[in-house]
Structure 1
Amino acid sequence: MITTEPVGDWTWEVPLSGSPSAPELAMETSAAIWDVLNKHELAISKGKAEISVAAINDPHSIRLQEKFTDANSETLRSRSPVAGSQPHARIGIEHIFTIRIQCPGVWLESGKRHRAEKLFSIQVEIWKSALLVVTLETYSDAWLTFDTRDRAQSKISEENAHRLSSALAEISIRLNTEVEPGDPNYFATPAVDGFDDQGTEGASYVDPWGTFENSARSRKLRAYIPAGPPTYEEVTDLPVRYYTVALNGQKVGFIWASVGEFSAGYTPRTAAGEDAFIAGKEFIMLFREAHSKNLAPLDALEWLAQRAAQIGVGKVEETCPLEASSLEELEELSGTY
């Protein structure tokens, strides 16, 4: 399953000598990490990146911020001269230079390839021109022997775990330093070669997806939505009918309505990355409009399916709604494929 918060992370720290060019070193390092991930299809195509420069004594004081959507090893390296131009030239011992990259990648299940728009993230920081810090985070449970709902998945782990293990070892060789696994979290415990075997160590929490991930996704979605009037209930224990919605050719989520209760809403497809949450704002606002028209939830669902296409906020993929036995079943679907 694909999560909105990291399943695990790993860090490498490299002391620097002399007075390296922080931007160029950070860009070259991030390109090298991308190359390693790309070799194992953990970073493919092009990612989204953000560069920032902040004062050490005030991280919230951003002196420079730049975003771009074509990040891969080639474009990262080609931006090095740009990063060394005038706005960056005054970066020194009082600054931290950071580049963070969202990496689309592939995870495997029964030989089938599944793409996630945020499988990993790479963060490269240069502190005071004296320390290089690389952090790698993953947002998939494909490397675990038990998924984030506590179900055994030894075959999926066998298909994927060795790819992560090889990448971690190769990054350590590239950086010429040992990897430091991140702290245990409610999903899993990172290790130098990937993750501890939950079958041996045991899970820290029961069903962390249901306990933590759904609320994390809800908070993330709400961050895009302005305050407004009352609307449909967001939860139900009854079956739901739903449509898959796509934007710019990518499935971004599902609009749904309960069968028998006053509940309806939008569930983001986390494998679509940030676009799933950005698109969610439009559908939630349409549900508010339907609610103001006093439409019953199932009528609102049909109205949304037509209205979304009319105003260009998304395309409904089915001609008739599908049905899930529960909202929980739909949420699990949205976090997997």
Structure 2
Amino acid sequence: MITSRDPVGDWTWGIDPPADAGAVPPSRAAEIAFQVREILARYELAVPTGKVDFQVRATSDGRDTPVDAEGIAWEEAPLAPGTALSRIAARADELQEWFMVFLGLQCPGIWVESGVKHRAEKLFSIYVYVLSGGSVVVTLSTYSDAWLTLDTREREQTDIHAANAPRLAAALADISALMGGPPDPGDQNRHAAPTETGFEDQRDEGTAFVDSWGTFEILARNGRMYPAASSAEDEYEVFTEHPVRYLAVRRGERVLGYLWVSVAGDAVGYEPRTAAGDEAFEAGARWVALLGAAHREGLTAIAAFERLLGLPPEEERGTFAGRTPEEAPSLDALQDLSGRY
């Protein structure tokens, strides 16, 4: 399964500067991120494209941020002259005084099941912190359970683990060689327990939570799409124990999610395909808004679903892959599909 917000695990490396080290330019953060990402790319754990946040703080409390850029495209040669990241890094290097640089890079990557490669838009994130004194901290976070012996719904996945865990272990070893020492694995979390080489075998130790993905991720995904001010009285039911009919929502060749309706009751909604990344949630918020408007008009869930099926195509919210709904035995089964592939 792919998580949208909380990592399945993370690893951190720290480097203290030599006593005779000179001044460190803010662009050092971008250079380190590039090196770490290149290691991930060796194992297809990072593939082309990605998004970068780059911030320079002039004071320890972070109130003064002379450079603050979000969502910069990670281009084919991101540090080459003329790229968006190189221009921002160069502007940061011109600062007379600064306290800390933060760089966050979202990495699409590949995980493998039954010999088939699947792409997730946020398989890993790289976070680099550089202090003006030269200290460096690098954190690598993963949002996939492909490295675990049990997935985050407590199902054994020996073959998936065998196809993916060695790639992660190799990447961690290479990053450790780059950084000059092993990582500090993050603490055991609701999903898994990281180690220096990957994750503990949960078949021996058991899991911290029963169905951690279903318990926490579904609520987190809904929280990204439904307005904070909405209440149960303003919306349709978003859970059902009945089978559901659904249609995939696409943008180009990429499935963003699934619009669904219960075969009985008054439940209807949208399940984002987590592996599609932010686009899935941006489209989902538009579908949720349309459902909210239908609810305020007094339409039943089935009527609202049928209305949305008849809307003209729109790029921002995606288009339907076909016109005949498929049926899933339960909403849980559809959520499982939307969270895995």
User: What range is the shorter-chain TM-score in?
Assistant: over 0.9
- Measured after TM superposition, the shift of residue 97 of structure 1 is 0.5
Q: Does 1:269 align with 2:273?
A: yes
Deviations 1:38-89 (A, max 9, x none): 0000000111111111245213543321234531572145557534534542
Give the Å deviation of 1:130: 2.5
**Equivalent residue, structure 1, for 2:52:** 49
Question: 1:14-25 alignment to 2 at 5 Å?
Answer: 14-17=15-18, 18-25=21-28
Instruction: Work out the CA distance in 2 between the residues paired with 1:50 and 1:171.
Output: 21
Match of 2:207 among 203, 208, 218: 203
Distance 2:89 2:118 in 1: 37
Q: Name the amino acid aligned to 1:212.
A: F
In 2, Cα distance between equivalents of 1:136 and 1:196: 17
Question: Structure 2 CA distance, aligned partners of 1:58 and 1:99?
Answer: 17
Instruction: Name the counterpart of 1:253.
Output: 257
Inter-partner Cα distance in structure 2 for 1:189 and 1:312: 38
Is the partner of 1:58 in helix, strand or coil?
coil
Contact 2:27 2:90 in 1 (8 A): no
Q: Cα offset for 1:20?
A: 3.7
The one-letter amino acid paired with 1:136 is L
If the length of structure 2 is used for normalisation, what is the TM-score? 0.92
- Can you give the 5+ residue segments of structure 2 that lack an aligned partner in the other structure? none
Check whether the contact 1:22–1:91 (CA below 8 A) recurs between aligned residues: no
2:87 is the counterpart of 1:82 = yes
- Partner deviation per Cα, 1:182-241 (whole Å, 9 max, x = no partner): 110010000000001101222111111121111222222236x77588121111111111
**Pairwise CA RMSD:** 2.1
Map Cα deviations across residues 111-148 of structure 1 (whole Å, 9 max, x no partner): 00000000000111102332111000000000000000
Deviations 1:140-192 (A, max 9, x none): 00000000000110110000000000000000111212211111001000000
Query: What letter matches 2:295 in structure 1?
Result: H
Using the alignment, how far apart are the partners of 1:165 and 1:227 within structure 2? 44
How many residues of Structure 1 are paired with residues of Structure 2 in the alignment?
335
Structure 1 counterpart SS, 2:27: helix
- Please report the TM-score for the alignment, with normalisation by the length of structure 1: 0.93
Tell me, yes or no, if the aligned pair for 2:250 and 2:320 is still in contact at 8 Å.
yes
With over 3 angstroms needed to count, the CA separation of the structure-2 counterparts of 1:288 and 1:202, relative to structure 1, is same
CA distance in 1: counterparts of 2:29 and 2:279, whole angstroms: 27
Distance 1:61 1:263, change over 3 A: farther
SS of the equivalent of 1:118 reads strand
Q: CA deviation at 1:306?
A: 2.2
Unaligned runs of 5+ in 1: none
Q: Which residue of 1 aligns with 2:139?
A: 135
1:70 matched to 2:73? The reply is yes
With 59-68 and 107-116 compared, the bigger mean Cα shift is at: 59-68
Change (3 A) 1:70 1:129: same
2:14 maps to 13
Q: Cα distance, 1:91 vs. partner?
A: 6.0
1:301 to partner: Cα distance: 1.2
Identical-pair percentage: 39
Distance in 1 between residues matched to 2:88 and 2:149, nearest whole Å: 41
Alpha carbons of structure 1 residues 198 and 312: separation in structure 2 relative to 1, 3 Å: closer
**For the structure 1 residues 108 and 91, does the alpha-carbon distance in structure 2 shift closer, same or farther, using more than 3 Å as the test?**
farther
Mean Cα displacement is larger for which, 65-74 or 234-243?
Answer: 65-74
Contact 1:22–1:97, Cα closer than 8 Å, also in 2: no
The one-letter amino acid paired with 1:250 is R
Instruction: Quickly say closer, same or farther: Cα 1:238–1:210, change in 2 above 3 A.
Output: same
User: Does the residue aligned with 2:168 lie in a helix, a strand or coil?
Assistant: helix
The C-alpha deviation readout for 1:263-306, integer Å capped at 9, x for no partner, is 11111110001111111111011111222333221221121122
> Aligned equivalents of 1:55 and 1:305: distance in 2?
51
Instruction: Give the partner amino acid of 2:13.
Output: W
Matched, 1:2 2:7: no
CA distance in 2, matches of 1:73, 1:179: 28
Contact 1:35-1:73 at 8 Å conserved across structures: no
| One-letter amino acid of the structure 2 residue matched with residue 10 of structure 1 | W
Does residue 147 of the first structure (1) align with residue 148 of the second (2)? no
| CA distance, structure 2, for counterparts of residue 87 and residue 96 of structure 1 | 11
Q: Is residue 252–residue 276 contact of structure 1 (8 Å, CA) maintained in 2?
A: yes
Runs of 4+ in 1 over 4 A off after TM superposition: 77-81, 225-229
1:323 aligns with 2:327: yes
Q: Which residue of 1 aligns with 2:103?
A: 99
Q: Distance in 2 between matches of 1:42 and 1:84?
A: 25
Counterpart CA distance in 2 for 1:279 and 1:97 is 32
CA distance in 1, matches of 2:265, 2:309: 19
Deviations 1:302-329, CA, capped at 9 Å, x for gaps:
2112215168631000221111111111
Native 8 Å contact 1:240 1:324 kept in 2: yes
